[in-house]
Amino acid sequence: MMGQHAIVMGGGMGIGEAIARKLHADGWTVTVVDRVAAQASNVANDLGENAFFECADITRADQLADLATSMRERVGGEGLRAVVNSVGVFDYRLPVLKTDLANFNRMLNVNVTGAFLFTQAMEPLLVQDASVVHISSVNGEMAGPTLGAYKVSKAALNMLVRVLASELARDPRRIRVNAVAPGWVDTPGERKVQAALGTPESLSDPKAMKFIPMARLTKASEIANAVAFLCSAGASGITGQIVPVDCGITNAEV
């Protein structure tokens, strides 16, 4: 087996898939994990050598315990050097006061509790100088009248990242924890949401890009590049940061 070990949760599609592909191209041995086994296996099989897949739901502590067991067998004494979580739900876009309890809880359960459970399950496997990266969103920093529960969940994820970074910086292994906060990215999940909203054309409509200074979507590969950097020795002094990769959205005058 070659390279250091990385695990990418939610790596079967979208931004997570781009991250798995980038880390593998950079020489990492990558385990792709997804709730949908076929998606994880498609990506891992396509990557070929030094790529593996597992099936797990990030909200299920029992499945994450099994995942930790499988990973321990796979990585052995080499341990895990990079843990990445790209799972997130963003398919519910009503104002927070119009949000029913089930959807509010679902956003928090997947986007926050899942991130907590996954990090907790993988932490014993992490080695010296390891890196943990969660995928957040510009919505974790920007308030607004839509996407209410999602914004709340990503803001909570940002603080989870900072608290984890604070705890693990003091660990003798000096583990770093950061987030990348994407702008608007064309992914299968985002296409599904736009189709459900009746606005499938918005992902290619220049008028819909007006709020983005660079007037274009961010590419999944651009998110993956930032994640790969945060997992690299080049980022050895960076921890507890939420790094926007958003074509200027969070720098915009409104």
126 binds ligand NAD (CB under 6 A): no
Non-local (6+) Cβ contacts of 1 within 8 A are 29, 50
CB of 59 vs ligand NAD, minimal distance in Å: 5
Asked whether the CA dihedral 99, 15, 56, 131 is positive or negative, the reply is negative
**Cβ–Cβ under 8 Å, residues 136 and 179:** yes
**Distance (Å) of CA 35 to CA 20, 153, 252:** 15, 20, 36
CB of 252 vs ligand NAD, minimal distance in Å: 15
**Cβ–Cβ under 8 Å, residues 133 and 84:** yes
Q: Which of 39, 119, 158, 178 binds ligand NAD (CB under 6 A)?
A: 39
8 binds ligand NAD (CB under 6 A): no
158 binds ligand NAD (CB under 6 A): no
119 binds ligand NAD (CB under 6 A): no
- Report the site for ligand NAD in 195-234 (rule: CB under 6 A): none
- Report the site for ligand NAD in 56-115 (rule: CB under 6 A): 57-59, 86-88, 90, 110, 114
12 binds ligand NAD (CB under 6 A): yes
**Cβ–Cβ under 8 Å, residues 128 and 236:** no
Residue 5, both tokens: 């070990």
Which residues here bind ligand NAD, judged by CB under 6 A? Answer: 10, 12-16, 34-36, 39, 57-59, 86-88, 90, 110, 114, 135, 137, 182, 184-185, 187-190
